[in-house]
Amino acid sequence: MEEKDILGTWKEYTLTNNQNMSVSILNYGGIITKIIVPDQNGKKENVVLGYKHYQDYEANPNYFGALIGRVAGRIQGATFTLNGESYSLEKNNGENHQHGGSDGFHQVIWEGQTFQTEDTVGLHLKHRSRDGEGGYPGNLDVMVTYTLTSANQLVINYTAKTDKTTPIALTNHSYFNLSGNLKETVKNHHVAIDSSQFMELDEHLIPTGTLIDVEGTPFDFRAGRILGTGFNHHFGQNKIAGNGYDHYFIFDETKENKVVLKDPTSGRVLVVKTDQPGMVMYTSNGLEEGLRLREADSSKHLGVCFETQGPPASLHHERFPTIVLNAGEVYERRTEFAFGVEE
């Protein structure tokens, strides 16, 4: 366990296990700045996108590694209605609200506390989002716990309570690239997803309320496929997302492993398990070129995000799993990212 001061009030915590894996996290935005894991030859390298200079996280328009809330994703028209009352949010994505707005959880200093057990090391992060903050109702007390196990699992536990009914959909926005130190894009990464349906998007990347069956489309990852097959595909939904993926996949709940990501060159494997109903897979289609990242300059399709969360589209389409947390109830969600190599 290492703790160092960054930019005054910022701290970076580095969790290290006995298997040559480490995870570094800022108290600012709960941002994961790097994840170091070995490849098939034991070579340790970073497998997430992060800035070369810490001060660039202050703006962080791409949300590299950040905790997102109160609601991750886009809220149509920056409005929603709860119990007959309408709420207006900041329009920070065209006419829509995205990732909690400019005062979202990715922009706050969290209260950090480390812990250690016989086979884990971790970090508790706490934050109180006050009633009316960002337009959301209720005082919301949030705790996010990052736990690194001796089996190379990074577990993220989310807990929250509110004193007024409010929507909540928390996630982490890490961009994964298993090639190690950003040697290449994720074009040749192989992905399997336990999902037979995804949400159709309109031209503003807002779910229309229609579910599309993945059968016969570049969105069919049930048996696994190469990510790049959807990057320049004629399929309309890939084009809308900027030649790639930025869609919510609903999990079938047929497999314990919701996502399996593999890089054929490094041999690294990432397995995602979660109790969330689905996730947004984003293949950094909108990532601009030339940002100074830790190991290389940024480019399109340099990383893939697995934003496990409840769907904000449920605020406007009742058929989807709800993200509403009632006063007095407890929000509890868990996502596990397990790293290994192909046998």
Separation between Cα atoms, residue 30 and residue 73, nearest integer Å: 17
Separation between Cα atoms, residue 36 and residue 177, nearest integer Å: 11
Terminal CA-CA length for the chain: 30
User: Which positions are catalytic?
Assistant: 173, 307
Concatenating the DSSP letter of every residue in 232-252 gives S-S-HHHHHTTSS-EEEEEE-
> Could you tell me which of 231, 235, 234, 233 has the C-alpha nearest to residue 245?
231
Separation between Cα atoms, residue 339 and residue 297, nearest integer Å: 25
The residue length of the chain stands at 343
Concatenating the DSSP letter of every residue in 40-98 gives TTS-EEE-B--BSSGGGGGT-TT-TT-EE-SB-SEEGGGEEEETTEEEE----BTTBEE
Q: By CB neighbour count within 10 A (0-12 exposed, 13-18 middle, 19+ buried), where does 309 fall?
A: buried
Q: Where are the alpha helices (DSSP H) in the chain?
A: 236-240
Separation between Cα atoms, residue 338 and residue 329, nearest integer Å: 30
What is the distance, to the nearest Å, from the Cα of residue 301 to the centroid of all Cα atoms in its chain? Answer: 16
Q: 309 near 280, Cβ under 8 Å? A: yes
What are the residues whose beta carbons fall under 8 Å from the beta carbon of 149, sequence distance 6 or more? Answer: 17, 119, 120, 155
What are the residues whose beta carbons fall under 8 Å from the beta carbon of 289, sequence distance 6 or more? Answer: 297, 298, 299, 300
